[in-house]
């Protein structure tokens, strides 16, 4: 195999960082560019990592750091709005029996671990710039950057997220669509009694939940019907989340008293998107949220993105010929796994929006998560 090839990764989130590390390990020259000067190092509150995400993080060589930094657990609790625990269900270990079912983490900590892995890999990293144009021929891509420079690459990997400018630039017309739900998120101190995710259904929101992210922290979230974001001033975010969360009992009163700083509260609509047909145009290939996104009802967004990176890196390292046949094979391998997760994640939310009382949510979750135990 010819490992002297040069690859550009556009975007330094989970998928971009992961594919960079894996491709460097395979011996390729990799440039990574990220539009944000801070490399997203402080963005976000928390993240729930299912076992199939942990499996990829272990392949990246960062599992020990993730395990030490996060909070592992193996069950989810279902509660009434007043906090009464109705049912505790063991989580399926989608990454295999030698990994926890779930790890909650502070999202900035996970990003820092991945940043350090990229730096250690020897990849060339440039922050605060974007790719402007992609001029392709049969042998590669010439990329023009916003700082006036240009580079020549054998392959470009678009890992620039849901609103991917690269996806649009190469003529893939898919775009995210709102599902009708939105989520309020905040990081907070962890009450001593919180040792797993608990989800309350009913009350003024569709879902009120929390996930421990370390020995001392958690992130909490409240899901409601989406509202016009322009009608919610950012300075009111803490008040709005606290108003919704104050209706819930159990651990919620202790959590809610820390929802005071609007700058620490995030409000986001749920979106769905699945690029159909292929995830490439010529020698530009999509991974992660640039190719697919879904509501976090199954907590699989990061996991699917990390799997994309793992699979694509394996296929590139295992083939001398990088062409439409290889890139289409990547798509076919991923779409059969990604589509059921996107559809199930959207369906769970739609049942709630429609007020369906007898929906088989546990069955759909069980079937989907069982499928994810298989290697991607």
**Within-domain flag for 50:** yes
pLDDT per residue over 233-269, tens digit each? Answer: 999 999 999 999 999 999 999 999 999 999 999 999 9
Residues 61 and 145 in one domain: yes
With a cut of 90, say whether residue 375 has pLDDT above it. yes
The tens digit of pLDDT for each residue in 58-72 reads 999 999 999 999 999
Strands 265-274 and 177-189: antiparallel
Query: What is the pLDDT, as a whole number, of residue 63?
Result: 98
Same structural domain for residues 153 and 34? yes
Q: End-to-end CA distance of the chain, in Å?
A: 23
Q: Report the chain's mean pLDDT, rounded to a whole number.
A: 96
pTM: 0.96
Note whether residue 58 is domain-resident: yes
Predicted local confidence at residue 43, as pLDDT: 81
pLDDT at residue 1, as a whole number:
44
Q: Is residue 96 part of a domain?
A: no
Query: Binning pLDDT at 50, 70 and 90, where does residue 3 land?
Result: low
Within this chain, do residues 126 and 10 fall inside the same structural domain, yes or no?
A: yes
Q: Is the pLDDT of residue 186 over 90?
A: yes
Q: Look up the domain containing 285 and give its range.
A: 6-71+105-176+272-372
Mark whether 343 and 232 lie in a shared domain: no
- Angle (CA) 233 235 236, round 5°: 70
pLDDT at 2: 47
Verify that 337 and 247 share a domain, yes or no.
no
Q: Which residues of 132-171 are buried (b: 16+ CB within 10 A; e: fewer)?
A: eebebeeebbebebeeeeebebbbbbbbbbeebbbbebbe
Q: What is the CATH number of the domain that holds 249?
A: 3.30.9.30
């Amino acid at each position: 195999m010819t490992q002297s090839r040069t690859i550009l990764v556009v975007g330094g989130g989970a998928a971009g960082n992961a594919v960079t590390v894996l491709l460097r390990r395979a011996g390729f020259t990799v440039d990574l560019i990220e539009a944000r000067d801070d490399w997203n190092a402080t963005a976000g509150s928390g993240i729930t990592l299912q076992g199939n995400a942990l499996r990829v993080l272990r392949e990246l060589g960062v599992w020990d750091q993730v395990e030490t930094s996060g909070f592992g657990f193996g069950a989810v609790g279902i509660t009434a709005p007043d906090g009464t625990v109705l049912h505790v269900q063991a989580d399926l270990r989608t990454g295999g029996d030698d990994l926890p079912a779930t790890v909650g983490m502070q999202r900035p900590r996970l990003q820092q671990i991945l940043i350090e892995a990229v730096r250690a890999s020897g990849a060339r990293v440039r922050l605060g710039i974007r790719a402007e144009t992609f001029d392709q021929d049969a042998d590669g891509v010439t990329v023009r950057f916003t700082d006036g420079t240009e580079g020549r690459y054998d392959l470009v990997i678009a890992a620039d997220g849901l609103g991917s400018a690269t996806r649009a630039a190469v003529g893939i017309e898919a775009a995210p669509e709102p599902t009708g739900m939105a989520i309020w998120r905040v990081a907070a101190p962890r009450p001593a009694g919180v040792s797993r995710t608990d989800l309350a259904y009913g009350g003024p929101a569709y879902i009120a939940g929390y996930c421990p992210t370390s020995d001392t922290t958690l992130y909490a979230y409240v899901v409601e019907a989406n509202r016009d974001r322009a009608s919610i001033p950012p300075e009111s975010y803490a008040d709005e989340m606290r108003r919704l969360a104050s209706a819930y009992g159990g651990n919620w009163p202790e959590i809610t008293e820390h929802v005071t700083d609007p700058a620490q509260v995030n409000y986001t609509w749920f979106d769905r998107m699945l690029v159909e047909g292929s995830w490439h145009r010529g020698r530009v290939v999509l991974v992660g949220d640039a190719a697919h996104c879904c509501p976090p009802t199954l907590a699989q967004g990061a996991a699917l993105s990390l799997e994309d990176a793992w699979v694509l890196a394996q296929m590139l390292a295992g083939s001398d010929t990088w062409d439409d046949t290889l890139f289409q094979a990547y798509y076919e391998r991923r779409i059969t796994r990604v589509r059921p997760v996107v559809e199930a994640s959207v369906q769970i939310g739609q049942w709630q929006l429609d007020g369906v009382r007898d929906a088989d949510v546990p069955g759909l979750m069980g079937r989907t998560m069982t499928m994810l135990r298989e290697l991607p």
